[in-house]
Amino acid sequence: MTGERRVAMISDAAGYVGPSLARLLAPRHDLVVGDPEDGLVADLEASGAAVAVAEDARDLSRPNVIERLVTLAIERFGRLDAAVAFTGRIVVGRFLRSTVDDLRDALVGCVEAPYQFLRGVVPVMVERGGGQILVFTSAAGARPTPGAPLYSSARAAANMLVRNVADEVVGRNVQVNAIGTNFMDFPGFLRANRAEEPEGRARVEAMVPMGRLGTMDELAHMALPFVDGTSRFTTGQFVGFAGGWV
């Protein structure tokens, strides 16, 4: 590559791994970020990145959200080299107590949202002749998950969607991969698992083979080679990031 800066899109920079990954990318990438957390843009610009911000962009299942992000990237920077999305709606409860509305909630958050994301970014990268796409899914999609059967099933569908899309565009120099997480130290997981207090956290950590929760910085470093242009010989992969649970 030339000295031209790469351009990466992070659809959700309000929380989860978005801010940590953006900070790792900033020295070599200009960035399109959705709904950045307070102070993030200043941090990224201090690291040398030009930053374009999209507001109200976290829910990728909504019509035209990904189109706005892609358009912003092309209009501001004229290119898009990498795109990252975290999608999903945690739906818990036993199957025998579930409803079809619970299933629909899981499918919208866990399947429809990544579909919309992929449908928006893949054609742009195919036309350009290359790119890297990373979808954060869940390790729950890799094994039966007691207490979250609908969520687990929907996440499995998303993981297979990533693999199928990767297979379709592998000859077009576009990489599509997924990282599936579980037992991560962030507010959404803690709330969903009643682990906000020490007793609840200890209960959850006892389920993890490594005996602790994963951090956002760890996850960001794991994700970086999938989007920073340094590793271009893997696609169609689902990688579990769950402390040995998968």
CATH code of the domain covering residue 167? 3.40.50.720
Which structure tokens are listed for 87?
């999608």
Which residue type sits at 177? N
- Divide the 246 residues of the chain into consecutive groups of 10 and give the mean pLDDT of each group: 81 95 98 97 98 95 94 97 92 94 96 97 97 97 94 97 98 98 92 92 96 97 97 97 96
Question: Tokens 């565009």 sit at which residue?
Answer: 169
Residue 208 lies inside a defined structural domain of this protein: no
Residue 229 lies inside a defined structural domain of this protein: yes
Residue 206 lies inside a defined structural domain of this protein: no
The torsion of the CA quartet 39, 40, 41, 47, rounded to 10 degrees, works out to 110
Residue 42 lies inside a defined structural domain of this protein: yes
Q: How far is Cα 35 from Cα 13, in angstroms, rounded to an integer? A: 6
> What's the pTM value of the predicted model, to 2 decimals?
0.94
Q: How far is Cα 244 from Cα 213, in angstroms, rounded to an integer? A: 11
Domain span at residue 77 reads 6-184+215-241
Residue 203 lies inside a defined structural domain of this protein: no
Residue 207 lies inside a defined structural domain of this protein: no
Which structure tokens are listed for 104?
């629909």
State how many domains the chain has. 1
Residue 77 lies inside a defined structural domain of this protein: yes
Residue 162 lies inside a defined structural domain of this protein: yes
